[in-house]
């Protein structure tokens, strides 16, 4: 398992996402690259890098404050189960499978890939990373409900590594966006996504915000103003949400530091 980096998002990001969705829906034209932007002001990414150990909360003493959220401890002084939080977010986390046709001199080859996405509008709009859906011929989206859809690209932005895709359905569960400007180093976060394409719904990992404002150079270019987290992120997590303890999306899992 690897720790990772996530793109920051905010309430402004939420507006950005909805604004982008509206603009992209009208234009239906690709623009650029990876980052989840659900409202019109900010977008952020979080990076995850090396293997993480088993998390054993050992907090003792008074109830701690995490950002603006108050999290009660159990009688033993440990953090409570996060299962209710996961149940709140998970229905809106999509698994994305893509195929791209590569034409050789004598043969054609099909390349397959996988990523994650988050449902931002109940009528089927899903935000993911641009690098998940760039230059592909087929996109399949599977939701935790078990439903599978063909998806089409509404718009892409290479600079922010953001893309919006669309499936045809109504009444889908959606995520709630928080504000990544409010997070502090040391805040607890959860990463959800289609890690290593495991069947049966999204994988959930727990960690903290390790740093803010990171710059990382990848094969896709340089990513700026990233959130670093030690929540384990693996191939397939790209495009999935990084959430706070209120169940609000505050980042988009984007890249991992394999050598860390």
Q: What is the pLDDT of residue 73?
A: 61
Q: In which element (H, E) is residue 162 found?
A: strand 162-166
Residue 74 near residue 58 (C-beta atoms within 8 A): no
**pLDDT beyond 60 at 19:** no
For 124, the token pair is 């089927």
pLDDT grade for 102, boundaries at 50, 70 and 90: confident
Can you tell me the distance from the alpha carbon of 166 to that of 174, in angstroms, rounded to the nearest whole number? 13
Of 10-14, 63-67, 113-117, highest mean pLDDT: 113-117
* The dihedral formed by the CA atoms of 81, 245, 194 and 171, expressed in degrees to the nearest 10: 100
If you average pLDDT over residues 87-93, what whole number do you get? 96
Instruction: Evaluate the CA torsion angle 50, 207, 15, 29 in order and state its sign.
Output: positive
SS3 224: strand
**Residue-by-residue DSSP string for 22-41:** HHHHHH----BB-----BSS
The per-residue pLDDT for range 42-69, each reduced to its tens digit, is: 334 444 433 333 333 333 334 444 444 5
Q: What is the pLDDT of residue 221?
A: 83
Which residues does the annotation mark as catalytic?
A: 131, 161, 238
Q: How many C-beta atoms lie closer than 10 Å to residue 137's C-beta?
A: 11
SS3 87: helix
Can you tell me the distance from the alpha carbon of 168 to that of 170, in angstroms, rounded to the nearest whole number? 7
DSSP code of 43? Answer: B
Backbone φ/ψ region at 250: left (φ over 0), alpha (ψ -120 to 50), beta: alpha
pLDDT grade for 75, boundaries at 50, 70 and 90: low
């Amino acid at each position: 398992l690897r720790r990772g980096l996530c793109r920051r998002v905010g309430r402004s990001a939420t507006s950005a996402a909805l604004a982008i969705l509206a603009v992209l829906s009208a234009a239906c034209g690709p623009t650029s690259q990876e980052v989840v932007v659900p409202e019109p002001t900010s977008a952020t990414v979080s990076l995850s890098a090396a293997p993480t150990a088993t998390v054993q909360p050992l907090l003792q003493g008074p109830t701690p404050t995490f950002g603006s959220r108050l999290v009660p401890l159990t009688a033993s002084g440990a953090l409570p189960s996060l299962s209710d939080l996961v149940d709140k977010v998970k229905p809106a986390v999509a698994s994305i499978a893509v195929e791209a046709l590569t034409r050789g001199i004598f043969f054609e080859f099909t390349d397959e890939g996988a990523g994650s996405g988050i449902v931002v509008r109940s009528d089927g709009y899903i935000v993911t990373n641009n690098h998940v859906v760039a230059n592909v011929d087929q996109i399949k989206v599977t939701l935790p409900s078990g439903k599978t859809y063909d998806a089409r690209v509404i718009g892409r932005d290479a600079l922010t590594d953001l893309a919006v895709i669309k499936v045809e359905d109504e009444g889908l569960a959606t995520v709630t966006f928080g504000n990544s400007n409010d997070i502090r180093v040391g805040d607890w976060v959860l990463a959800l996504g289609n890690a290593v394409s495991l069947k049966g719904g999204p994988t959930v990992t727990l960690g903290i915000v390790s740093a803010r404002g990171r710059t990382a150079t990848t094969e896709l270019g340089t990513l700026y103003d990233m959130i670093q987290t030690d929540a384990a992120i693996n191939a397939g997590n790209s495009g999935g949400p990084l959430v706070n303890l209120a169940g609000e999306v505050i980042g988009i899992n984007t890249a991992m530091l394999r050598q860390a």
